[in-house]
Structure 1
Amino acid sequence: MHLLDYPEAEPHLTQPTLEDAVTRMQRVILLARRKREEVKIGIRTPLASLTIVHRDADLLAGLRSLEDTVRRELNVKAVRYEQDESKYIRLYAKPNFPVLGKRLGRRMREVQKQVEALDVEALEAFQAKGSLDLDGETFTTGEINVFREAMPGTNAVSDRLVSIDLDCNLTPELVREGLAREVVNRIQRSRRELGLEVTDRIEIAYTADAELEAAMAEHHDYIAGEVLALRLAEGAAGKSQDLSATIDGKRLDYSIVVAGG
């Protein structure tokens, strides 16, 4: 073991814009995954598009440089960018009545009207600064609550850093691709359970419910390539251990043998 001095930071090498973009990217991924969970669409089912929404064009440009990671992590076909958040998110505020009631007394109703009338720019400035001067009073984040609500007709989700809109419409093609990915997952799991070597080429015979069979036929080459199958065909199992799986309520029976074994 060799002991070395801990390297010193070189501030001139830092890239604040990139660092901010990575932070926002992490939020984008988290928000989109939450939306998938909400609508009960698993990550293996691809979606057509994700729209990232933020007013700052430079920030969106930074996120664009990380687009491949976003598409891969969220399994979306395309990523779009939008600066007009009002198309996707309604931003509004309400006073924290339990906190402010005693302090403001009879003025509470008037302050409520002013708080609820705040526009997007004022609310974003309040969130950034953490305080707001209104009607001769200074209010902090614990005294005024800011809410973000998806606009009708969208699948938008938002926090104070970024907003996203996830296209959750599933076409038959997307569903079949998702089923194919699930098949790969089950076969890879079976490979491990059978103790196969990572490099072992295999032969697979299977029978499946109609929708699953169609997905496997359409994505035959993808499935075979992922699981190292020299043969992937519908039909009798032959000399092997019979295996089965249920994928989204659809039955799959299959067998695996090592090629040439």
Structure 2
Amino acid sequence: QMDRWILSEYYRLIDEVITNLDQYEVAPASTAIVRFLDLLTNWYIRRSRRRFWKSESDIDKATAYATLYQVLVGLTHILAPFLPFMTEFIYQNLVRSFDKNAPESIHLAAYPRADASKRDKDLEANMEHVRTAVTLARSIRQEKNLKVRQPLTALTWVIKDEDAGKKLADFFPVIAEEINVREVNIIHNDEELVELSALPNLKLLGKKVGKKMNDVSNAIKALDTETLRAVETGGTVKIDEFELTADDIIIKRSEKPGLAIQSDQGMTIALNTNLTPELISEGLAREVVHHIQNLRKESGFEITDRIQLALSSDSETLRVAIESFKDYICRETLALELSLNETTGGTELKTGDHIFAAKIRRVETPSA
């Protein structure tokens, strides 16, 4: 799915660049390139890291590398008119070093051609919706000071169009991994997420109700949720002799307890922010992984190096988290062995209010 998407976006880029350059519109062509670079680096490559790094050389890994190579070579050709010397250098290393029969210079090679049959516009649109949802959810986490490493129970996505919701269901695993939630749900209105309250629109109502403003205002504030939703969808409500519409009433939304919500461009995302002991433990384990990964980097280890890992902590909460998620910690840090001792004499680290020590040692593995 990710491969089909980035290739579709690549052919979209070719079309946009050629169309604009044919009209001598350099700025829009450049903007399209910058957009594609963001999609390639911050979404496709980052989302595909595990495929690139995994130890087994299977079809999935080979496909990821082949797709990335195709896109990088094509992008180099697209950039040639903009960056002639840099792209020539890249071309010689990326293409000519492997294919001596390729044109001697990138500027002697054919420019990429647009091919509408290679695009999947539905996939492009769906992925854009997914990326927008992820951006909103990250914004909620930042606002509520919830690190992405802290798992949450659920993300709820309000999509009014039921058919669109069904199409986006295939992307739930992507969203769940990006936002670190256990499950993703789609609903078609926000009834489950918010509580409604109402205030009078004093500017408009003054002329309509005159001296009865105080009584009408109190009646508006007392309106129930069902009535307010009816008014929102074009209905009216009668108070005394006055027929009131949505223009006369200011309807306010407030998050239900345990939820955090953001909306943008007609999209609403809600995160369940209630933390169970299990979620807290998993969050601590992820923080430990983060520190060990940094320690590996500071120690000059290669990405593929296997290690022995020794941890110690006086925090019972942290020790429980490490024991509960031992397999996860080992898998993420490439640790062949993890020991949890009273003391390790290693590097002192801190996650939240919990202090622990870690010692890592590279393990020599037999070469294949």
CA distance in 2, matches of 1:58, 1:226: 37
> In the alignment, what sits opposite 2:361?
257
The yes-or-no answer on 1:35 pairing with 2:147 is no
Q: Which structure 2 residue ranges, 5 or more long, are not aligned? A: 1-105, 214-219, 221-227, 235-249
CA distance in 1, matches of 2:172, 2:178: 10
> In the alignment, what sits opposite 2:318?
212
Match of 2:168 among 56, 63, 67: 63
CA distance in 2, matches of 1:191, 1:232: 15
> In the alignment, what sits opposite 1:142?
none
The yes-or-no answer on 1:120 pairing with 2:232 is yes
> In the alignment, what sits opposite 1:125?
none
Question: Which of the pair is proportionally richer in strand?
Answer: 1
Residues 152, 185 of structure 1: alpha-carbon distance in 2 compared, 3 angstrom cutoff: closer
**Which AA in structure 1 matches 2:191?**
S
Residues 152, 202 of structure 1: alpha-carbon distance in 2 compared, 3 angstrom cutoff: closer
CA contact (8 A) 2:159 2:187 kept: yes
Deviation at 1:11, TM superposition (A): 7.2
CA contact (8 A) 2:347 2:358 kept: yes
**Which AA in structure 2 matches 1:24?**
H
Match of 1:231 among 323, 329, 337: 337
CA contact (8 A) 1:89 1:158 kept: no
CA contact (8 A) 1:89 1:148 kept: no
CA contact (8 A) 1:88 1:154 kept: no
CA contact (8 A) 2:306 2:335 kept: yes
The yes-or-no answer on 1:178 pairing with 2:291 is no
Normalising by structure 2, we get a TM-score of: 0.53
Superposed counterparts of 1:1-261, under 5 Å: 1=106, 2-10=108-116, 13-16=119-122, 18-89=123-194, 119-121=231-233, 149-153=253-257, 155=259, 156-208=261-313, 209-235=315-341, 236-237=343-344, 242-259=346-363
**Which AA in structure 2 matches 1:243?**
T
CA distance in 1, matches of 2:134, 2:252: 18
CA distance in 1, matches of 2:344, 2:118: 63
CA distance in 1, matches of 2:155, 2:306: 37
Deviations along 1:204-238, one digit per CA (max 9) or x if unpaired, are 22211211111111111111121122221122437
CA contact (8 A) 1:148 1:158 kept: no
Deviations along 1:30-79, one digit per CA (max 9) or x if unpaired, are 22112212222110011111111121112212221211110110001111
Q: Tell me the SS of whatever aligns to 2:176.
A: helix
Identity %: 29
Residues 225, 154 of structure 1: alpha-carbon distance in 2 compared, 3 angstrom cutoff: closer
Q: Tell me the SS of whatever aligns to 1:66.
A: helix
Question: Which of the pair is proportionally richer in helix?
Answer: 2
The two structures, once aligned, show a CA RMSD in angstroms of 3.6
**Which AA in structure 1 matches 2:348?**
S
Residues 75, 222 of structure 1: alpha-carbon distance in 2 compared, 3 angstrom cutoff: same
Larger Rg: 2
Q: Which structure 1 residue ranges, 5 or more long, are not aligned? A: 102-106, 123-145
Normalising by structure 1, we get a TM-score of: 0.73
Residues 206, 3 of structure 1: alpha-carbon distance in 2 compared, 3 angstrom cutoff: same
**Which AA in structure 2 matches 1:246?**
K
Residues 254, 160 of structure 1: alpha-carbon distance in 2 compared, 3 angstrom cutoff: same
Q: Tell me the SS of whatever aligns to 2:153.
A: strand
> In the alignment, what sits opposite 1:136?
none
Q: Tell me the SS of whatever aligns to 1:182.
A: helix
CA distance in 2, matches of 1:212, 1:154: 25
CA distance in 1, matches of 2:329, 2:318: 13
CA distance in 2, matches of 1:213, 1:228: 20
Q: Tell me the SS of whatever aligns to 2:191.
A: helix
Residues 157, 237 of structure 1: alpha-carbon distance in 2 compared, 3 angstrom cutoff: same
